[in-house]
Structure 1
Amino acid sequence: MLPKSVRLLWLLENPILFRKIILRKRKKRIGVHYLNRTRLTNGEFHQLYYDLRRDPSKFFEFLRMSIDTFDYILIRIKERLRKKVTNFKRPISPVERLYLTLRFLSTGLSFRNLATTLRMGVCTVSKIVHETCEIIWNEFVDEFMPVPSQEQLQTVAEGYYRRWKFPNCVGSIDDKHCQIKCPPGSGSRYFNYLKYFSVILQAVADADKKFITIEVGARGKQSDGGIFSSSQLFNLLENKVFNMPPDRELFGTNIKVPHVLIGDEAYPLKTYLMRPYPSRNLDPVKENFNNRLSIARKCIECAFGILRAKWRILGKDIEVNPEKAANIVKCTCILHNIVRHRDDNSDLHYCQEVVHYFPENQRETEWLPPPQEGHGGARRSSARAKQIRESFANYFVDF
């Protein structure tokens, strides 16, 4: 056998062989980091979770939902989160996987930071978050954000009339820029006018600040109107397959108008979509219409405010590719609906956002919608859309 010094000299003269030997030794050293071996005793989940369950307020503050809601989600998805036990390792439990995902969504901490506190590998944390987000969306979307039927949209319209005095409104629509890390090779396609990279969440909210439908993934460079015109929602509305309720008469009149969405100035005026009058040279009738539309449209702004206040990941760069970022945003939206449905107005983030967006003179009132029935359709024309807006404007003068 050659002396060690001779072997080293020979390896240095053969860099390819030297590299193969070094890589082989590195692979042999790969294993569980000594910090991660203490996960069951020193990891954040094992130190905090069961103590948090003793204090419901602290639990809500930490995981952004009540204990009952957490348990409800866990029971529904635990079998899909469960991994097989092997002779080589003990799999991470479903409850720890859900805990980890909610901590990521609620704090916006990086995968590396969470990996350190939870005593896991960075790749393990990343894989768990993406898998759990996808499972939550697939499990709950049909129940908490289904394709709306005519009956459901009619219920939404009654809610808008009862609370915000805006008849025949089936939802308020708006877009939200969700920050992402600049995707490699994307150029300026995801760079928006706010001077950061983003994917866009387009959503429609009901009067109770829950999302009726969402679309995620448009590039930040696009305008609100451009995003809407290229969306699936636009195609459904244009082709009259969105399950819009039939036309109804405005309360106290014989004027029949279609049900509509309401949006801001960035959206086009359509027979199914009302936007404000241009802000120049407004007479009292048009100004009153703009005010009434603005008050009702705050439902979507309030929903976005609750979403960002609760899930802090939406307030910073989501450091994944746009496709995975879209899945994360979709998961936060379905979790928003679940918490709004189960925890209702006891949600602290809901209370804070309602106070912010709705002053005392714009709070909810109880107007009961009259029982009305009717049917019909509206022609898709600019003149017809303006006529519908004028009908609403004249109606708001007396009601």
Structure 2
Amino acid sequence: METQSFTFLSPQPLSHYNALDFSWFSDMEMGFNGNSKKLSRRDTDESLVNGEDLKNDGFKDILSSLLLLDEGAPKQEQHQWLTGFEPTFEADYKEKVEEIDATYHCSKMEDSSSSRKNKRSRKSGSVAASSSTVSVGSDNAGLPESSGGSGHQRRLWVKSRSKDWWERCNHPDFSDEEFKRVFRMSKSTFDLICEELETAVMKKNTMLREAIPVRQRVAVCIWRLATGEPLRMVSKRFGLGISTCHKLILEVCSAIKTVLMPKYLQWPDENKMKQIKDEFESITGIPNVGGSMYTTHIPIIAPKTSVASYFNKKHTERNQKTSYSITLQGVVDQNGVFTDACIGWPGSMTDDQVLEKSAFHQRATMGQLKDVWVVGGKGYPLMDWVLVPYTHQNLTWGQHAFNEKIWEIEKVGKEAFARLKGRWGCLQKRIEVKLQELPVVLGACCVLHNICELRNEEIEPGLKFEVFDDEVIPENNLRSMASDQARDRIAHNLLHHGLGGATGFY
């Protein structure tokens, strides 16, 4: 037996064999030196390993010679003979014991390996109906089994899921009309988004599995945002695990925020702002209008902490159903494209409170909105840069004319939010996303909305959504006397220049 075999099988220490050897020889000496108790065959068998040593031919010859010794011979001579024979006998015995022990360990290893193979085959048979085996690499072939080799490939168990639906949608023959109905955008717009996000969302293949393609990653996110379907339906459609789909949605939304938001959602520069002002003035006759502001509520699952802060009182009273929400405040241009968005303040806050907490308000108070009006509804206060309608009773004809024009500008923002919620159905129902992750998802919806609006992606009539957010008039709705006087001048000019809707009554 080679020494390497013992090293690989990790036998017992050699001292174990030495102790066994010497105790055996001590008993033999007592028997052959006149002790009244003779060694029986049974005693000899028990002193050897598994009783198999006596079957060996070499052991039979040795024992036969020992038993034929003359019992009457002098004890000293017998002892000397045995002592002289001991080295040869011990070496032969140790060699046999080592051979038997190695054979024993090998047989145990074979039995254990066979048992593991049987268990593995039974387990694979029980999950064969719902699982498939993926072979991974063959670089370790020929290595010992303990190092992942022994000529067998590594195997990874994955659940078999159908990708037929996605493969059909991703096929070149899939019609653009059907694609737009499913993903709320045309194929060309979808391809543009994939190209923009490719470097941010691409993953490399590993030795265990192939990476999910960029188009499928983006499609999972967009389909989830568009339909608002639960994650189990997303998993079924795309043939991916539920946790994988959830992870992909957050990753793609984060990439949209990082890569696309600075490009598609930003406050206009000077030239762009002049264009917006001219467009609004040509429609309404009100000068220096740079955007329409509106605030909507996004339903959420009741949070575990600060529940009262997210309680939506107006929505609960209207629908007779307890509602919790977060707010989304946005400013849009004349085309309904978002130029600013403030996301995530609790639903119990009113429109003016959300405005005061926003970064947009901070920029305005620092003078970055000089000579610009942002038009809002009656839920906002009149400020140096916020223009709102008259809310008191007994309005004059000029004030009526002003309110009608303001309503036309308000309508631009309100319809933009209606298209936003209609296009992205996840905003109409409670989203299966943690509260701290919602701003990223809602921000991605705003960016995708802008891309669709800039590329003239029309929303289907069946997807139109009517916003029902209630406006509460602030207690202090007049924050600037200068703005109050400016509003009166605008109302007077509209009436006397024939731009107001009440000119027929004058």
Instruction: Report the TM-score range of the alignment, normalised by the length of the smaller protein.
Output: 0.7 to 0.9
2:458 pairs, out of 344, 347, 371, with 347
2:363 pairs, out of 236, 240, 245, with 236
Aligned residues: 330
Q: State whether structure 2 residue 291 is matched by structure 1 residue 171.
A: yes
8 Å contact kept, 1:115–1:121:
yes
Distance 2:463 2:207 in 1: 50
- Alignment match, 2:488: 390
- Alignment match, 1:296: 409
Q: State which drifts further: 62-71 or 147-156.
A: 147-156
2:426 pairs, out of 309, 313, 316, with 313
- Alignment match, 1:337: 450
TM superposition shift of 1:305: 0.8
Structure 2: gaps (5+ residues): 1-122, 133-157, 317-322, 468-477, 500-506
Distance 1:146 1:210 in 2: 10
Give CA deviations for 1:287-337 in whole Å, capped at 9, x if unaligned: 111111001111110100111111100111012122211111110100010
Going from structure 1 to structure 2, the CA distance change for 1:50 and 1:279 (only over 3 Å counts) comes to farther
TM-score (norm 1): 0.77
1:115 pairs, out of 235, 238, 241, with 235
- Alignment match, 2:329: 202
- Alignment match, 2:266: 146
- Alignment match, 2:378: 265
- Alignment match, 1:284: 397
What secondary structure, in the 3-state scheme, does the structure 2 residue paired with 1:181 have? Answer: coil
Higher relative contact order (CA 8 A, sep 6+): 1
TM superposition shift of 1:90: 1.2
- Alignment match, 2:248: 128
Q: State which drifts further: 173-182 or 233-242.
A: 233-242
**Letter of the 2:413 counterpart:** I
Distance 2:482 2:268 in 1: 25
TM superposition shift of 1:352: 7.9
TM superposition shift of 1:267: 0.4
TM superposition shift of 1:117: 2.8
TM superposition shift of 1:99: 0.8
Q: State whether structure 2 residue 211 is matched by structure 1 residue 91.
A: yes
How well do the aligned residues superpose, as a CA RMSD in angstroms?
2.5
Give CA deviations for 1:218-239 in whole Å, capped at 9, x if unaligned: 1101010111111111111111
Going from structure 1 to structure 2, the CA distance change for 1:34 and 1:197 (only over 3 Å counts) comes to farther
Going from structure 1 to structure 2, the CA distance change for 1:126 and 1:351 (only over 3 Å counts) comes to closer
TM superposition shift of 1:381: 6.6
Q: State which drifts further: 160-169 or 330-339.
A: 160-169
TM superposition shift of 1:50: 1.2
What secondary structure, in the 3-state scheme, does the structure 2 residue paired with 1:189 have? Answer: helix
Q: State which drifts further: 132-141 or 161-170.
A: 161-170
Distance 2:461 2:262 in 1: 23
What secondary structure, in the 3-state scheme, does the structure 2 residue paired with 1:348 have? Answer: coil
Identity, % of aligned positions: 23
Distance 1:131 1:237 in 2: 33
Give CA deviations for 1:80-99 in whole Å, capped at 9, x if unaligned: 21112111111111110011
8 Å contact kept, 2:423–2:463:
no
8 Å contact kept, 1:163–1:207:
no
8 Å contact kept, 1:166–1:296:
no
Q: State which drifts further: 384-393 or 136-145.
A: 136-145
8 Å contact kept, 2:280–2:289:
yes
Q: State whether structure 2 residue 300 is matched by structure 1 residue 180.
A: yes
TM superposition shift of 1:164: 3.6
